[in-house]
Structure 1
């Protein structure tokens, strides 16, 4: 039995931090230990409400997360925040400053904040965010908030590891509807227009109306009740609209549980991540074997210098991996 197993089940925050560090490691011995630990923890059956939170840079994701998380802990709920920071494409480094931006929530005994680098992983999440979510669930947290890097074409990956996907937007500045990809709107369960206070309150109301109209034109999703997805105004600074947003999240989550969509979605997500792990493992093997690595490098040079087409080189590499027929 892993010495982290029972402390995590007991809700030990230090053990949880160590376990997340373990699952984020790329060392083969750490990966083996992490896989065994996650397999053992999966048998406890604990579930949290997983909420993915995305939004354009500067929209106030951290301010919203702190205000929303504090409201939940005031209700006696335990909240885990997994905040993903963008990594530099040049140096690979990340600032990881989310705890300083959520100082009040970071001091809350019922909250746990863990920043992680995206490490150039697409989808607005870190490579091991899904496993970190599982660890937080096993530690007894009621709500897990996954704050992504920011809106992008690949940002939809977070919807494959959460139960609800919340899109946070600022009041319109120009043609707001053109600023967000349709693919993200199609998977958003709730659109929250932040900064609905002061001079921006009227603009926020207009933005909510614009998005409400756009959502009505989209086809009703079979796993949603009438009226979802919907747009709402909130102010993370003043705290207005947060309780109403939480009520809507619970209403949607409860409806999906009652109608069987909750379990079905989690089953599909588990199958998806199983396939992703297999793909990642196969790619890793390309670099582990020296002969395979050298052949990849040789074919890469041929492609770069125009001697071989990319598709032909890929077929040759795959044929070599599959061995003799």
Structure 2
């Protein structure tokens, strides 16, 4: 009989309560690398209700040592701890991050974005298999869109990267975007650092799709790749000028079979546009063709990324970009904290519903309403 998926899961990571970012489903018996196993039906006493499955919370040392040892089970639990919204997890997750920070920063960080259907996941799998063959270890942070109605997320990137997900040299972590602008999860930056500390030397952040707000990822990666497809114009693909301007390279995917001629035409068109959109400097973005299915052009893309890193390192731009990433991370966290603290104030909660109703009824301008609410900070 198939499992009943209509019930809300009652099991939460490390007794985090209801305030957590990701639900962890009970696993199989037997444990992993010394971790306690979960209760099973075979352990139950006849006539006695089965106990709620639990896992022993890991200590700070166990998280740090497990991640540094490359233990995938501990790595997954560390990411779940970081993604958790439970106040009880915040202090421990930050302590773990502080200890892992000196072991991070040595990976190349790639951001890959593009329209839905452009073949981003297939391209990542093809690139990932090539990198593994070259001796690299790959961490993929795949951000899936979150439903604005149900809050749910498909989190299906592991199924789209079936071959890559079976390789021990790769670690794929799907996460819900959670409504964050830019298509990146709230804790993506922290997750990158943990994966780097675990020994992954290439980190790929795959975002939900291209749009005007799909630029947040640019503030956390070293190289930003925009994936497009041949045979569709800007209006159909939803590509905005701001996204093209921020790209370090454009990959025209699916350049095979009957699409090859259209792909070459699209490459030439985007190269003409990039000539005017991007200023001259140490690096001039270009468009390239590739096929994630046949593998053609994948090696050339990686060589482009290598040339970019070499030039950026020699000119000092690589270090400058990393420093800017840390600054942007700090400011984003401050903005998030201020927003949360504002809406958590009792005086704001008391006035918010009435003010919002007045705005929606058209009796109060939104600007005036915002000023009224912000004035409550002085009370």
TM more than 0.5: yes
1:285 is matched with 341
Cα 1:166–1:65 change in 2 (3 A) is same
Instruction: Give the match's secondary structure for 1:124.
Output: coil
2: CA distance, partners of 1:277 / 1:175: 33
1:151 & 1:46 partners in 2: Cα distance? Answer: 27
Name the counterpart of 1:269.
Answer: 325
Structure 1 regions of 5+ residues with no counterpart? none
1:234 aligns with 2:294: no
- Between 1:114-123 and 1:288-297, the stretch displaced more is 288-297
Deviations 1:220-240 (A, max 9, x none): 254x33xx2011110100001
Given candidates 180, 183, 205, the residue that maps to 1:124 is 183
User: How far has the Cα of 1:33 moved from its partner?
Assistant: 1.9
What SS does structure 2 have at the residue aligned with 1:136? helix
The C-alpha deviation readout for 1:177-230, integer Å capped at 9, x for no partner, is 9842110110000101011111111111111111111111224254x33xx201
Q: 5+ residue gaps in structure 2?
A: 1-59
Aligned to 1:48: 107
**Match for residue 299 of structure 1 among 355, 372, 377:** 355
Pick from 121, 138, 144 the counterpart of residue 62 of structure 1: 121
Cα 1:301–1:176, aligned 2, differ >3 Å: closer, same or farther?
closer
Point out the structure with the larger helix share: 1
Count of residues in correspondence between the two structures: 320
| SS of alignment partner, residue 70 of structure 2 | coil
* Contact preservation (8 Å) 2:113, 2:207: yes
Residues 147-156 or 43-52, more deviating = 43-52
Moved more, 303-312 or 128-137: 303-312
Say whether 1:311 aligns with 2:370.
no
Offset, 1:24: 1.3
- Following superposition, the deviation at residue 292 of structure 1 comes to 2.9
Match in the other structure for 2:299: 243
- 8 Å CA contact 2:234–2:240 kept in 1: the answer is no
Q: Which moved more, 1:108-117 or 1:306-315?
A: 306-315
279, 293, 296: which one aligns with 1:220? 279
Residue from 70, 88, 98 that aligns with 2:147:
88
SS in 2 for 1:4: helix
Q: Which residue of 1 aligns with 2:377?
A: 321
Give the TM-score normalised by structure 1: 0.93
Partner SS, residue 75 of structure 2 = helix
TM-score, L = length of structure 2:
0.81
Please give the secondary structure, in 2, of the residue aligned with 1:135: helix
| Paired position in structure 1 for 2:204 | 145
Cα distance between partner residues in 2 of 1:248 and 1:110: 23
Q: Which residue of 1 aligns with 2:87?
A: 28
Deviations 1:13-62 (A, max 9, x none): 11111111111111112222222221221123542100000111111111
CA 29–59 in structure 1, closer or farther in 2 if over 3 Å, else same: same
RMSD: 1.7
* Structure-2 separation of matches of 1:284 and 1:175: 37
Report the CA distance shift for 1:114/1:178 in structure 2 as closer, same or farther (over 3 A): closer
SS in 2 for 1:198: coil
